[in-house]
Amino acid sequence: MPATVILGTQFGDEGKGKVTDVLSDKYDVVVRYQGGANAGHTLFIENTKIAFHHIPSGIVRNKISILGNGMVINPPQLIKEMDEASKYGFKTDNIKISRKANVVMPYHKDLDSFEELSRGNNKVGTTKQGIGPTYIDKVARTGIRMEDLLNKESLSEKLSTQLKIKRGLYNLYEQPFKYTVNELLKEYMNYGKILSHHMIDSDVYINDMLMHGKRVLLEGAQGVFLDVDHGTYPYVTSSNTTIGGAITGSGIAPQYIKRVIGIMKAYTTRVGEGPFPTELKDGIGIELQKKGHEFGTTTNRPRRCGWGDLVIVKTAVILNGITDIAITKVDTLADFDEIKLAVAYKLDGEEITHVPSSIKDMERVVPVYKKFTGWKELTDKEWNAIKKNKNSKLPKNLLIYLKFIEKYLQIPIKAVSYGPKRDQIILNPSIR
Catalytic residues: 13, 41
Rounded CA separation 408/416 (Å): 17
Q: How many CA atoms, within 13 angstroms, populate the side-chain half-sphere of residue 93?
A: 1
Q: Minimum CB separation from ligand IMP for residue 240, in Å?
A: 12
Q: Minimum CB separation from ligand IMP for residue 269, in Å?
A: 8
Rounded CA separation 216/209 (Å): 8
Q: Is 237 in the site for ligand IMP (CB under 6 A)?
A: yes
Residue at 136: amino acid letter: I
Q: Is 39 in the site for ligand IMP (CB under 6 A)?
A: yes
Alpha carbon of 359 to those of 49, 164, 271, 349, 382: distances in Å? 37, 36, 17, 18, 44
Number of amino acids touching ligand IMP (CB under 6 A): 20
Closest CA to 321 of 215, 242, 228, 236: 242
Applying the rule CB under 6 A, the residues between 3 and 22 that interact with ligand IMP are 12-13
Q: Minimum CB separation from ligand IMP for residue 375, in Å?
A: 27
Stretch that binds ligand IMP, among 129-137, 308-316, 340-348, 374-382 (CB under 6 A): 129-137
Q: Minimum CB separation from ligand IMP for residue 238, in Å?
A: 6
For the stretch 409-424, what's the b/e string if a residue is b when 16 or more beta carbons lie within 10 angstroms of its beta carbon? bebebbbbbbbbebeb
From residue 271 to residue 300, what is the string marking binding to ligand IMP with x (rule CB under 6 A)?
A: xx----------------------------
**Among residues 19, 22, 111, 124, the one that binds ligand IMP under rule CB under 6 A:** 124
Counting every residue written for the chain, the total comes to: 432
Q: Is 38 in the site for ligand IMP (CB under 6 A)?
A: yes
Report which residue's Cβ sits closest to ligand IMP: 272
Q: Is 40 in the site for ligand IMP (CB under 6 A)?
A: yes
Q: Is 131 in the site for ligand IMP (CB under 6 A)?
A: yes
**Among residues 17, 58, 132, 367, the one that binds ligand IMP under rule CB under 6 A:** 132
Rounded CA separation 153/157 (Å): 6
| Helices marked H in 368-419 | 380-388, 396-409
**Among residues 65, 129, 240, 315, the one that binds ligand IMP under rule CB under 6 A:** 129
Please state the three-class secondary structure of 32-74 as a single string. ECCECCCCCEEEEECCEEEEECCCCHHHHHCCEEEECCCEEEC
Closest CA to 44 of 257, 210, 293: 293
Applying the rule CB under 6 A, the residues between 349 and 408 that interact with ligand IMP are none
**Among residues 20, 98, 126, 232, the one that binds ligand IMP under rule CB under 6 A:** 126
Does the bond joining 234 to the residue before it have cis omega, within 30 degrees of 0?
yes
Closer residue to ligand IMP (CB): 308 or 429 = 308
**Among residues 30, 104, 221, 411, the one that binds ligand IMP under rule CB under 6 A:** 221
Stretch that binds ligand IMP, among 100-108, 151-159, 206-214, 234-242 (CB under 6 A): 234-242
Alpha carbon of 405 to those of 75, 89, 273, 395: distances in Å? 41, 40, 27, 16
Residues that bind ligand IMP (CB under 6 A): 12-13, 38-40, 124-127, 129, 131-132, 221-222, 226, 235, 237-238, 271-272
